[in-house]
A and B are shown apart, each in its own frame.
Chain A
Amino acid sequence: MNPEPTTLLQGTLDLLILKSLVAGEMHGLGISRRIQQITGGTFDVKPGSLFPALHRMEEEGWISSFWGDSENNRRAKYYRLTKPGRKQLDVETKRWGRISWAIAQALEAS
């Protein structure tokens, strides 16, 4: 069963990108596929949102980029997590934890 792809909550995309990069450096398509994979296909990140996010996060200093060769020997731009990026991942994770807990609480209340 393939769940309906869902629109991303504001701020969630950053968290997912940071999380997917924990496994190691990756190019844009890799990040997109990785997010699909780790969310069980719930989130399909389109380039139209992925690229602006990547560039913004690079300007923030959370990730850095370099040009490398892909699995098929194709030039591709790779991204990797920086030290501030790991810190940001911590922050986002905690924030997300609070949000999901709060939402769960709200839904459980009767």
Chain B
Amino acid sequence: MPLFVKSRSFLRNLFRSRSVEADLDLEVHSYLEMLTEENIRADMAPQEAARAARIELGGVEKVKEQVREERIGNWLHSVLSDCRYGLRQLRKNPGFTAVAVLTLSLGIGANTALFSVIDAVLLRPLPFHDPRRLVAVHSIDLRYSGQTGEISYPAFLDWRRQSHSFEAMSVWTNSSFNYTGGDQAESIRGAVVSANLFSLLGVAPTLGRTFIEEEDRLGAGQTPVILSYELWQSHFGGDPNVLGRSLTLDDDKYTVVGVMPALFQFPVQSERVELWITIAHDLKGKNAPATERGVAYLQVIARLKRGVEISQAKSDIQLVQEQLNHQYPDNRPRGVAMLSESDQIAGDMRPVLMFLLGAVGFVLLIACANVASLLLARATVRQKEFTVRAALGASRSAIIRQLLVEGALLAFLGGGMGLLFAHWATRALIAMAPEGLARMSEVTLDFRVLAFTFIVALATGVLFGLAPAVQAARTDLNRMLVASGRGSGTGFEGARLRNALVVSQLAIAFVLLIGAGLLLHSFNRLRHVDPGFLPDHVLTFLLDVPSERHPGAQRAGFVRALLQSTRALPGVKSASAIFGLPLADDQSAFTSLEIEGHPVPNSQRPRVAFRLIESEYFHTMGIRLVDGRTFAPQDEQGGPPLAIVNETFVRNLLHGDNPLGHRIKPNISFGDNDEAAMREIVGIVADVRSGSINGDAPPEVYAPQTSVDFIGETTIVVRTATDPNSLIPTMRSLVGSMDKELPVREVKTLDQYVSDSISTQRFEALLLGTIAALAFILTTIGLYGVISYSVVQRTREMGIRIALGAQQQSISFMVLSAGAVLTLIGIGTGLAASLFAVGLLRGLLYGIQPIDPATFIAVPLLLMAVALLASYIPARRATRVDPMVALRYE
């Protein structure tokens, strides 16, 4: 019962404080009036009576205050009133408040956003059963670096049969399918996988079943397909009766046997896969890729047996591979690499992201240092206020409570804005993410980090907010009052601490600027690399001409006819086609090569990039012909087999001999009855950065597209006079008019390929650039604050100096040199630190050294210039001090 009464009173005091107050007011007044009446009855004059009553009462407000202090929940009221007072203080100093809140929110927001990305991409476990036992196994060609570790299907089957460390092992490869079930032909991304993939991952379907073992082999009756939840929703309206439905992909019939759960993704990569079929797809027909031991195109994922370490499993599979190398001497010898699936997916983004996380952590440090030095500066200004309050009887605890509340208020405002900022920044990061960054779709705002950074901000606000209380506690009231009245140099220790903070900020900003400068410089180098072709004004798209509707020579004829019509279009300068477009990494074909007159064993033959082109290709791409000639249309019609090679080919494989007339044999065959042919070199073209923009060109061999049995897949390249994007609808309808079931895929300009190929570097440079800029701005604000504060503090001294005849120059020199000294110490410290830090960036740089003279000259100059500017404004203010005003100051 009393508890009930108490809590009711508490709630009433808290939420109906206005009516509680009114009640109290009435009560006290009624008391006063009754007292007056009593006095009148005792024969006092009315005025005298009222006076006596008021004396007895002892002041209405005082009585009310005494009642308030007795109330339950009084402490809460004090905190609330402290908050009100604190907010008023913050409003009274909008400059201070804005800078402190903005600083905190930038620090909190940037950290939260970047960590959210890192958490999703690197830290969060993969959404599969017991993901720590999942590994990626690579088969490495020992004679050729720079590959992604694919294996051939026969070799994989040997791995699976002969190894003992794995619970299960699957292959997968990306593929895309021409889906003709809907209104118009459409290309759908899918994957060709082992039947046991889903059980290996430990993910059950939402509907139906996953594949069964026999479906890996041909002739298992129906050919099954499993749909993603998203495809099921978008193309089948989420129909529960979809199981058993028939689906036409690339003119083959598939039966839907299952639907995976929403958001299920495998392979984990930036482009979603919408359906899965079994490896049986690659076993049928002549030259089926999965039947050839020499055709390595499959990725391997495996689940380790419980208790088996990666290193054990690796040596297990290594043994199997060595056996295979022995058993098949005609194949190039291969090694094995193995890494956890999560490392595989994070790829080479891990060091970059960790570096950025470190950088953004330093920004938080700078932000906190800024707020700390702002609070310290303000503390000195407010010392008098607190001394006066203490002298008037405010208890130490009341002052401390108020400072705590003010610090917390700043942190809360900063945290709130930080949340907003983090939200925007996360979205921006997702939008900017390069293609290589998988799992970006899993990124969500990380509230644990938000909480952590917020607590750091809160601690800063509270800790440094308390500074005046600490100072007040240390000093004698009387002396403080006298001293602050004179406005002499108080808070010497505060000044030293602030200087130390600014120097460390400058040092951190310096290191970050160096890092950003290096990445930007390197990125700029990369942007101006000559790719060997002219990427502007070229539209490209991929066609996959199915042999079912365009059998034999008709396939090549189809492409030729399309090119003919394209060249006739207005705005088209030239058009051609290639299999193996530069910078389109999934479109490259490598082969081993024989050179006539240089017999070597099969396993020691050089590897070359092999590309199939239509006539006018070099002209359309803007690739320079170095010597000899290009292909003429008639070369492609049954004449002697010809080849064109690049300069690297000549340099590396022919040792600079004149290649014209040499004969070579790329061991590649595409068609059903095609034998690799000996080809005569008729031309040499300039090198093209085909694999990546920062890699060297491999030796390349070009052959006419139709001289081998045309494989169906080719990229059309069209050079236009106007914006190439404006040609897209025309090209789509042109292809549609020739075959309405043929989808146009990968529509991109050549400029886009170039830009995508450096998207990771752009992401890195942009992010570190932004972070460094943030650090730079915050540091400048911090320096400006410290210098201008010291000017305010020394107003009286300046006044005296001016009164004694000091020149304006000498005054501004005095202030400027104070700023310059701090900056020089900061830069010196930063320089020492960055000599270590740049080592971390070594792997990310292209075309420049980590100790890049341009960056190491530009950054100190920039920092020095801005620091002087930040000191110049207060310095000018110092010279304008009117000695009379200064001496009367305070």
Please give the residue numbers on chain A whose beta carbons come within 8 Å of chain B beta carbons, in ascending order: 27-29, 46-49, 51-53, 55-56, 58-61, 70, 72, 74-77, 84
Task: Give complex CA distance A60, B70 in Å.
Answer: 11
Q: Which residues in A have their C-beta under 8 angstroms from that of B58?
A: 46-48
Question: Other CB < 8 Å A-B pairs besides A47-B31, A77-B27, 16 of them?
Answer: A27-B34, A46-B58, A48-B57, A48-B62, A48-B66, A51-B24, A51-B28, A52-B69, A52-B70, A55-B67, A56-B70, A72-B37, A74-B30, A74-B33, A76-B31, A76-B34
From A59, which residue of chain B is reached at the shortest CB distance?
A: B9
Report B323-365 residues with CB < 8 Å from chain A CB: none
What 0/1 readout, one digit per residue, does chain B (1-34) give for beta carbons within 8 Å of chain A?
A: 1101110010000000000000110111011011
> Does A29 lie within 8 Å of B31, measured CB to CB?
yes
Task: Give complex CA distance A25, B769 in Å.
Answer: 77
Task: Give complex CA distance A74, B30 in Å.
Answer: 8
Least Cβ–Cβ distance between B76 and chain A, in angstroms:
14
The 8 Å CB contact of B6, one of A28, A47, A59, A77, is A59
> Does B34 lie within 8 Å of A51, measured CB to CB?
no
> Does A59 lie within 8 Å of B31, measured CB to CB?
no
From A56, which residue of chain B is reached at the shortest CB distance?
A: B70
From B72, which residue of chain A is reached at the shortest CB distance?
A: A59
> Does A29 lie within 8 Å of B5, measured CB to CB?
no
A-B contact count (CB 8 A): 77
**Is B253 on the interface with A (CB-CB < 8 A)?**
no
Report B63-111 residues with CB < 8 Å from chain A CB: 63-64, 66-67, 69-72
Least Cβ–Cβ distance between A83 and chain B, in angstroms:
8
Task: Give complex CA distance A19, B38 in Å.
Answer: 23
> Does B66 lie within 8 Å of A52, measured CB to CB?
yes
The 8 Å CB contact of B71, one of A53, A55, A74, is A55
Q: Which residues in A have their C-beta under 8 angstroms from that of B838?
A: none
The 8 Å CB contact of B2, one of A28, A75, A84, is A84
Q: Which residues in A have their C-beta under 8 angstroms from that of B28?
A: 47, 51
The 8 Å CB contact of B26, one of A49, A51, A58, A77, is A77
**Is B35 on the interface with A (CB-CB < 8 A)?**
yes
Q: Which residues in A have their C-beta under 8 angstroms from that of B657?
A: none
Given contacts A47-B57, A51-B63, A84-B1, contact A28 B27 (CB under 8 A): yes
Q: Which residues in B have their C-beta under 8 angstroms from that of A46?
A: 56-58
Of B27, B56, B66, B72, the most chain A CB neighbours within 10 A belong to: B27
From B2, which residue of chain A is reached at the shortest CB distance?
A: A61
Least Cβ–Cβ distance between B446 and chain A, in angstroms:
45
Least Cβ–Cβ distance between A75 and chain B, in angstroms:
6
Q: Which residues in B have their C-beta under 8 angstroms from that of A51?
A: 24, 27-28, 31, 63-64, 66-67
Least Cβ–Cβ distance between B430 and chain A, in angstroms:
55
Least Cβ–Cβ distance between A12 and chain B, in angstroms:
16
The 8 Å CB contact of A29, one of B2, B38, B63, is B38
18 sample A-B contacts, Cβ–Cβ < 8 Å, listed by A number: A46-B56, A46-B57, A48-B66, A52-B66, A52-B67, A52-B69, A53-B70, A55-B24, A56-B71, A58-B9, A59-B9, A70-B30, A72-B37, A74-B30, A74-B34, A74-B37, A76-B30, A76-B34
Task: Give complex CA distance A41, B5 in Å.
Answer: 34
From B9, which residue of chain A is reached at the shortest CB distance?
A: A59
Given contacts A60-B2, A61-B2, A84-B1, contact A29 B27 (CB under 8 A): no
> Does A59 lie within 8 Å of B27, measured CB to CB?
no
Q: Which residues in A have their C-beta under 8 angstroms from that of B69?
A: 52
Task: Give complex CA distance A38, B57 in Å.
Answer: 21
Least Cβ–Cβ distance between B386 and chain A, in angstroms:
29
Least Cβ–Cβ distance between B657 and chain A, in angstroms:
105
Least Cβ–Cβ distance between A74 and chain B, in angstroms:
6
Least Cβ–Cβ distance between B516 and chain A, in angstroms:
62
Closest 3 CB pairs of A and B: A61-B5, A52-B70, A59-B9
> Does A60 lie within 8 Å of B5, measured CB to CB?
yes
Secondary structure dominating the interface of A: helix
Please give the residue numbers on chain B whose beta carbons come within 8 Å of chain A beta carbons, in ascending order: 1-2, 4-6, 9, 23-24, 26-28, 30-31, 33-35, 37-38, 56-58, 62-64, 66-67, 69-72
> Does B2 lie within 8 Å of A70, measured CB to CB?
no
Task: Give complex CA distance A49, B69 in Å.
Answer: 12
> Does A70 lie within 8 Å of B70, measured CB to CB?
no
Task: Give complex CA distance A47, B28 in Å.
Answer: 8
Q: Which residues in A have their C-beta under 8 angstroms from that of B56?
A: 46-47
Least Cβ–Cβ distance between A31 and chain B, in angstroms:
10
Task: Give complex CA distance A88, B446 in Å.
Answer: 55
Task: Give complex CA distance A49, B28 in Å.
Answer: 12
From A83, which residue of chain B is reached at the shortest CB distance?
A: B1
Task: Give complex CA distance A76, B23 in Å.
Answer: 11
Least Cβ–Cβ distance between A82 and chain B, in angstroms:
9
Q: Which residues in B have their C-beta under 8 angstroms from that of A28?
A: 27, 31
Q: Which residues in B have their C-beta under 8 angstroms from that of A75?
A: 26, 30
Q: Which residues in A have their C-beta under 8 angstroms from that of B62?
A: 48
From A51, which residue of chain B is reached at the shortest CB distance?
A: B67
Q: Which residues in B have their C-beta under 8 angstroms from that of A76?
A: 27, 30-31, 34
Task: Give complex CA distance A84, B5 in Å.
Answer: 11
From B5, which residue of chain A is reached at the shortest CB distance?
A: A61
Q: Which residues in A have their C-beta under 8 angstroms from that of B31?
A: 27-29, 47, 51, 76
From A33, which residue of chain B is reached at the shortest CB distance?
A: B38
Task: Give complex CA distance A33, B1 in Å.
Answer: 31
Task: Give complex CA distance A47, B60 in Å.
Answer: 9
Q: Which residues in B have their C-beta under 8 angstroms from that of A29?
A: 31, 34-35, 38
Least Cβ–Cβ distance between B857 and chain A, in angstroms:
73
Q: Which residues in A have their C-beta under 8 angstroms from that of B35?
A: 29
Least Cβ–Cβ distance between B429 and chain A, in angstroms:
54
Task: Give complex CA distance A48, B31 in Å.
Answer: 12
Task: Give complex CA distance A60, B5 in Å.
Answer: 7
Least Cβ–Cβ distance between B77 and chain A, in angstroms:
14
Least Cβ–Cβ distance between B11 and chain A, in angstroms:
11
Task: Give complex CA distance A76, B38 in Å.
Answer: 14
From B29, which residue of chain A is reached at the shortest CB distance?
A: A75
Q: Which residues in A have their C-beta under 8 angstroms from that of B38?
A: 29
> Does A48 lie within 8 Å of B63, measured CB to CB?
yes
Task: Give complex CA distance A24, B501 in Å.
Answer: 70
Q: Which residues in A have their C-beta under 8 angstroms from that of B27?
A: 28, 51, 76-77
Task: Give complex CA distance A75, B860 in Å.
Answer: 79
> Does B6 lie within 8 Å of A60, measured CB to CB?
yes
Least Cβ–Cβ distance between B72 and chain A, in angstroms:
5
Task: Give complex CA distance A53, B70 in Å.
Answer: 8
Q: Which residues in B have their C-beta under 8 angstroms from that of A49?
A: 66
From A82, which residue of chain B is reached at the shortest CB distance?
A: B5
Q: Which residues in B have their C-beta under 8 angstroms from that of A59?
A: 5-6, 9, 71-72
Q: Which residues in B have their C-beta under 8 angstroms from that of A61?
A: 1-2, 4-6
> Does A70 lie within 8 Å of B34, measured CB to CB?
yes
Least Cβ–Cβ distance between A13 and chain B, in angstroms:
12
Least Cβ–Cβ distance between B40 and chain A, in angstroms:
11
Least Cβ–Cβ distance between B670 and chain A, in angstroms:
92
Task: Give complex CA distance A48, B5 in Å.
Answer: 24
Q: Which residues in A have their C-beta under 8 angstroms from that of B24?
A: 51, 55
Least Cβ–Cβ distance between B168 and chain A, in angstroms:
70
Task: Give complex CA distance A53, B30 in Å.
Answer: 18
Task: Give complex CA distance A70, B33 in Å.
Answer: 11
Task: Give complex CA distance A49, B56 in Å.
Answer: 12
From B60, which residue of chain A is reached at the shortest CB distance?
A: A47
From A75, which residue of chain B is reached at the shortest CB distance?
A: B30
Task: Give complex CA distance A55, B63 in Å.
Answer: 12
From A70, which residue of chain B is reached at the shortest CB distance?
A: B34
The 8 Å CB contact of B70, one of A55, A77, A84, is A55
Task: Give complex CA distance A46, B71 in Å.
Answer: 19
Q: Which residues in A have their C-beta under 8 angstroms from that of B64?
A: 51
